[in-house]
Every structure is written in C-alpha cells, then in structure tokens.
Amino acid sequence: MAFSRIILRACAFLALAAALSGCAAQGGGVSPNPFQGALSAIGAELSGNASAGGQSPSGSQTQAAPVSGKVVVINGILIAVDGEHPTDSRWAGKQIKDTPLFHFFNAHPIRRPGEYFPRIGIRVDDYSQTLVSDNVITKHLNATPGAVPRDNECVKFAAVIWMSEKQSQRIDDVVLCSSDISSKDGYMSQGALKNYRNNAYAPVSISSMQIRTLGPREPQKLLPDFTPADIALYGNGQHLFSSLFSQLGYQGPVDGDQRLWFVNLASAAK
C-alpha cells in the first residue's frame, strides 16, 4: 500500500513537471529542469529521506558547510566569496592580508638572474575534507544546469619567509577559506596552475632534491602532487591556490619565478 502511494505521488510529480516544462519554454531564460526536480523528489520518497543531507562512506552523517556571500566563477567553478569567515575554532588563525605574506612578491621582485632570495616555503597543516572527497566537479560547473557553489572550504598552513640563508621569519596558523576570497582580487588561470604543478622545479644550486622541508633549501619539485589525495586537493582547491598565489603577488607559473614551494599538500609533512 505504501509503495502504491509512492507510485501515485511519482505520477503527480511527473505530470506537474510536464506542465512546468511548457511554462519554462514559453517564459525564456535559464530555469531549473523540472523533470530533474521531480525525479529527485521521487528518489527521496523511495529512499525514505526527503532531506538534502547525505552520509559519508564511513556511515557518519554529513552536513554541508554554510555558504554565504557572492557567488563568482573561478576557472569555470562556482565559488562563494566575500563571505563570513567560519566560526569553527578549527579555522581560527591569521588571514594572509594580516601577515607579511600579503603581496610579498610584489614588494620583492627578482632583480637579477640567479637571485633566489627572498623565498617562501609553505607547509599545509589542515584542510577541509571535501577538498579531497567532493570530486563530482560537474555539479559545481558554471555551465551545468542547477549547479551549486562548492562548500565554504579552508586550508590552514605555516609559512617561512627566507630573506637570506640565515635570516627567516616563521608565520604559523595562516588560514584561507573560500569566504575570505575577495571578488575584487585577480585569479590565476587554470593553465597557469597546471603549469606550476607540472613544470615548477627548484634550481639545482639551491635544491635539497627529494628532501622536503620549510627551508632554506627548496625541494626539487615545488608542488608535491605525489598521491591521489594531493592531486585532488590541488585540483578541487584550485580557487584557494589561485587566491593564495594572487594574495602573495606570486606569478611563478607565468614568469618562471622559482621562489615559492610547498612541503606537502594532502599528505602529512614528514
């Protein structure tokens, strides 16, 4: 009997969807697909769960982080920026704009070939889990009907600024969240981000080769995309890395500047 009621509701949903579809076709503009909405409602009935929440692979209930602010498109992905910084104590810390990192490379351009000071090493200490688990990019693509922005995601990191071989400044607990990104900032293109991932290597004269530390010597590969989780973090978090480079004034993927490296990404630093 319960199943019969569900079938009757399904028919009602589909009939309503057909009517809405005709209206949408006459009204013009972009509107959600009514059939998709009807099918989603039917699926909720059959599953016995009409809420938008889901479950993680481990079975624990998950809830999307609240998204606020202005939705913009960064490299084709919908991102909510100009929002409120998360109140979760996990993401308490300094924002880039409040540290010496802000526009650092603008203030310290390369003045002559072979000059590699000052330079900066970054160690990722924490990140939002969705940056490695939310891999269904299509649902966030600007061109996808019914697309939604990514959750308000964050990374926390430590950085060391090396002015010389012996003079350095360490900055801990720097936090960058999607909501911290300003719509007025420039964003690095996907091509430039890919170039940094694939082609950014330290000069042999200052490299520690496979040893990855915060400096002063740089590891051979500036971005350690060694595991699937590393690749996912850099790819899904392209908006965060794009903003990070922009706020640091770093143009290495474009002009070949080799003075910024990452000790780790998703994998814990050794």
User: 70-119 pLDDT, tens per residue?
Assistant: 999 999 999 999 999 999 999 999 999 999 999 999 999 999 999 999 99
Identify whether residues 41 and 122 lie together within a single domain. Answer: no
Identify whether residues 180 and 91 lie together within a single domain. Answer: yes
Read off the pLDDT band of 68 (50, 70, 90): confident
Three-state SS string across 44-89, please? HHHHCCCCCCEECCCCCEECCCCCCCEEEEECCEEEEECCCCCCCH
Identify whether residues 204 and 132 lie together within a single domain. Answer: yes
Answer whether 179's CB lies under 8 Å from 83's CB: yes
Report if residue 57 sits inside a domain.
no
Identify whether residues 90 and 35 lie together within a single domain. Answer: no
Say what the pLDDT of residue 65 is.
53
Say what the pLDDT of residue 31 is.
35
Identify whether residues 13 and 111 lie together within a single domain. Answer: no
Identify whether residues 184 and 258 lie together within a single domain. Answer: yes
Report if residue 69 sits inside a domain.
no
Half-sphere exposure of 137 (CA within 13 A, CB side): 12
**Count of structural domains within the chain:** 2
Identify whether residues 125 and 203 lie together within a single domain. Answer: yes
The larger pLDDT score, comparing residue 20 to residue 88, is at: 88
- In eight-state DSSP terms, residue 93 is S
Return the closest-CA partner of residue 165 out of 208, 106, 125: 208
Identify whether residues 141 and 33 lie together within a single domain. Answer: no
Before 219, cis peptide (omega within 30)?
no
Across the range 167-185, mean pLDDT stands at 97
Report if residue 237 sits inside a domain.
yes
Identify whether residues 91 and 183 lie together within a single domain. Answer: yes
Across the range 116-133, mean pLDDT stands at 98
Identify whether residues 89 and 200 lie together within a single domain. Answer: yes
Q: Is the pLDDT of residue 19 over 90?
A: no
Q: Is the pLDDT of residue 59 over 50?
A: no
Identify whether residues 31 and 99 lie together within a single domain. Answer: no
What's the whole-model pTM score? 0.76
Domain that holds residue 196: 84-262
Identify whether residues 17 and 103 lie together within a single domain. Answer: no
Answer whether 211's CB lies under 8 Å from 251's CB: no
Read off the pLDDT band of 197 (50, 70, 90): very high
